[in-house]
Structure 1
Amino acid sequence: MAYSIHHDLLIKAPIHKIFEAITEPEHLINWWPLKCEGIPKENEDYNFFFTSEYNWYGKVIKLEKNKSFYIKMTKSDADWDPTSFGFDLEKQKGDVLIKFWHVGWPECNAHFRGSSYCWAMLLNGLKNYVEKGIVVPFKERE
Structure 2
Amino acid sequence: MSDLQLHTVASLLRRGHCLDQFSTGLTLLAALLGLGQWLLGNVNPWLLLFSGVLFSLGVLQKYWALRVAFDADLFQRMADDQQPLAERTQALDQALNTLGLQPAERAGRPWTERSLGALRLLRRQSLLLAAQVVWTLGFILASPWLAFSG
TM-score normalized by the length of structure 2: 0.29
**Structure with the largest fraction of strand:** 1
The structure that has the greater radius of gyration is 2
Higher relative contact order (CA 8 A, sep 6+): 2
TM-score normalized by the length of structure 1: 0.30
**Structure with the largest fraction of helix:** 2
